Structure 1
Amino acid sequence: MNAGRIQREDALKHLCNTEAGGRRPTLHSLAGALNIKPDNTGALLRDMDQKGFVSFASGELALTPKGRSEGLQVIRAHRLWECHLAEETGIHATGWHARAERREHWMSPAEVDALSAQLGNPTHDPHGDPIPTAGGDLAKDGGEALNALVPGRAARVVHIEDEPANLYAQLAALNLRPGMRVEIRDKNEERIRFSADGAEHEITPILAHQIEVLPLPETEVGEGVETLASYQPGERATVLGLARGSHGSERRRLLDLGFVAGTAVEVEMVSPSGEPTAYMVRGTVIALHREQAGLLLVKSAEALKS
């Protein structure tokens, strides 16, 4: 593929994302996103202007309908390919973005539509970003950074920023994902302590800023929901379902093992090393690592009776 076309598509993608975020793109913001010199960025924009992808008619850099359409097509390909990697491969979450960055330039609109149909036409990628429709519509999901959440108020994770890669790797290592129910326990200028589907975490404010949440209505049912990882030997619970962010083979394996909604589970024992833990499920003892148990949303048997 022509290197100039790839650079133009990367530029259009940046301009679309900037526009979707309610910000104004500039020559310097584009130069930073593409990691090229401002002089080269100016030449790129002149070429894109001549070909009808951008316009300076209003005195500011803006996308034309043609440019917006092509940029959203690239974003659609990228986010659908990330869904494919999450659902149908064993590639770790930290590898999704870079692979999708390469693949997005090589897919035709027909191939993108076919992939979407194969995946069940998802509306969001594994990070929580909305996927543009084939018609060019892009949903706007409003949220706030985890830092802004008031201690004691429950919220749902709607997006986890996957750039820069070094910060995302730290969040991925904690197994944080969209769909989790979170609540801040306490916070200060150096640390934020919070629970995510029952598991306790402590991170820096800069990491918390990468997590976007939507506060839950005060009346939403869900109090007492925990993950199986928080249970101790002898305790019993009932499976409510899998965490919304569980993907691919790990999700299928847990379902195949019998961890479906309504199933009773009892913690049998923890190995001397602390990993794995044995659980009694449908008359069978099954060993799970803490990370796997953390994907199972449960409620105690006593809580369900009350």
Structure 2
Amino acid sequence: MSISNPIVNLVVFVLLVALLFFLFRPVKGWVWIIRNSIKTNQKIITEDILKQMYTLETMGESIFKEELMNGLKYRNGVLEDVMDAMAVSGLIALEGKEMSLLPMGREYAIKIVRVHRLWEKYLAEKTGFDKTEWHPRAEKMEHQLSYEETNVLATKLGNPIYDPHGDPIPSHLGEVTDIDGKHLVDLEADTVGKIVHIEDEPAVIYHQILAENIHIGSHIRVVENNEKRVVFYSEGEEFILAPEVARNLTIEVFTEDVYIEEDAVRLSALKSGESAEILGISKECRGESRRRLLDLGFVKGASIHIGLESPLRNPKAYIVKGSAIALRDDQAAKVLIKRK
């Protein structure tokens, strides 16, 4: 007959207690962490579905279940389960191949859109992140704020109405301002107006627009519009876009009595030996960058000329109010001038 070793039994008992502690410890135990992780993932997936449905709804498009699932980054089986749960809870309606937002789901979606666009505004105004990073970072951060924290963020930003792309930011009551304008691709030649919205999806088209150095708030004049290309003139430069890219720009069309500064150009176009008068700073320049330029003397009415060029002509030293200020071409492109 074998006799149990008391020390071995004690060690086994201690290990068992420790294992149970790590598994079921409140809040920090593995079981709690896994359970909360599952709940968190379901919440994120639900919010991603609602936001995508709201986007399609505001564009006036029908919402097809299969297309929606293909556009999201989750497995179809997971999406099916979450959608069924959303239908049971009264957020969405499932009718065959089509889906629609119910009032409670639309209200929830607007809250998520509000958080996303406030975060983009924060990233644009308060951080140094490149504009290509605003949208993906906001997509991660939009799931983290409560209703009260969202209102605090809005107050900190001055309760803005639009995000950096020109999209309306819903109010805390869920009110959404309309974008007043027409797609660039729909405008006739000689139409004049102002860029009020740049769509940031799909990302491949948005990056093309950024590569062209097109700024929100810029005045434009359409030169040519046909099935092959859209040509417009803005701030001393000519831009040529494919129609599918031009569709992502929304223009506030000016009436005949609105004056456009036809000879306004970007500071980056100024050449050695030329002098100019500063007309202002583009809305594309935000936050600390804008305040820095203003503090350095880049204010309306100030005279400016090139004092020194680097061997590659980028950056250049501009003389403004008696001081030499070095700017790269992408920085100078955000300062509007009028040649003397």
* Distance (Å, rounded) in 2 between the aligned partners of 1:215 and 1:232: 32
Alignment TM-score, normalising by the size of structure 2: 0.80
Following TM superposition, by how much is the alpha carbon of 1:290 offset from its aligned partner in structure 2, in angstroms? 1.6
Please say if residues 188 and 225 of structure 2, whose CA atoms lie closer than 8 Å, have aligned partners that are also in contact: no
Please say if residues 55 and 64 of structure 1, whose CA atoms lie closer than 8 Å, have aligned partners that are also in contact: yes
* Distance (Å, rounded) in 1 between the aligned partners of 2:138 and 2:285: 19
Q: For residue 28 of structure 1, give the secondary structure of its aligned residue in structure 2.
A: helix
Q: Which residue of structure 1 aligns with residue 233 of structure 2?
A: 195
Q: Does 1:104 align with 2:142?
A: yes
Q: Which residue of structure 1 aligns with residue 16 of structure 2?
A: none
* Percentage of identical aligned residues: 36
RMSD (Å), alpha carbons = 2.4
Q: For residue 96 of structure 1, give the secondary structure of its aligned residue in structure 2.
A: helix
Following TM superposition, by how much is the alpha carbon of 1:37 offset from its aligned partner in structure 2, in angstroms? 6.4
Q: For residue 133 of structure 2, give the secondary structure of its aligned residue in structure 1.
A: helix
Following TM superposition, by how much is the alpha carbon of 1:54 offset from its aligned partner in structure 2, in angstroms? 1.9
Q: Give the aligned length.
A: 300
Please say if residues 78 and 100 of structure 1, whose CA atoms lie closer than 8 Å, have aligned partners that are also in contact: yes
Q: Does 1:30 align with 2:73?
A: no
What amino acid is aligned across from residue 246 of structure 1 in structure 2? C
Q: Which residue of structure 1 aligns with residue 126 of structure 2?
A: 88
What amino acid is aligned across from residue 277 of structure 1 in structure 2? K
Please say if residues 155 and 182 of structure 1, whose CA atoms lie closer than 8 Å, have aligned partners that are also in contact: yes
* Distance (Å, rounded) in 1 between the aligned partners of 2:286 and 2:211: 15
Q: Does 1:253 align with 2:276?
A: no
Change (3 A) 1:271 1:202: farther
For structure 2, the 5+ residue unaligned runs are: 1-36
Q: Which residue of structure 2 aligns with residue 304 of structure 1?
A: none
Change (3 A) 1:232 1:186: farther
* Distance (Å, rounded) in 2 between the aligned partners of 1:232 and 1:107: 49
* Distance (Å, rounded) in 1 between the aligned partners of 2:270 and 2:208: 25
Q: Find the structure with the greater CA-based Rg.
A: 2
Please say if residues 86 and 126 of structure 1, whose CA atoms lie closer than 8 Å, have aligned partners that are also in contact: yes
1:283-302 per-position Cα deviation (integer Å, ceiling 9, x unaligned): 1122222211111122344x
Q: Which residue of structure 1 aligns with residue 265 of structure 2?
A: 226
What amino acid is aligned across from residue 283 of structure 1 in structure 2? G
Q: Which residue of structure 2 aligns with residue 49 of structure 1?
A: 87
Q: For residue 278 of structure 2, give the secondary structure of its aligned residue in structure 1.
A: strand
Following TM superposition, by how much is the alpha carbon of 1:280 offset from its aligned partner in structure 2, in angstroms? 1.8
Which residue of 321, 329, 333 corresponds with 1:282? Answer: 321
Following TM superposition, by how much is the alpha carbon of 1:219 offset from its aligned partner in structure 2, in angstroms? 1.6
Q: Which residue of structure 2 aligns with residue 239 of structure 1?
A: 278
Alignment TM-score, normalising by the size of structure 1: 0.88
Change (3 A) 1:158 1:29: farther
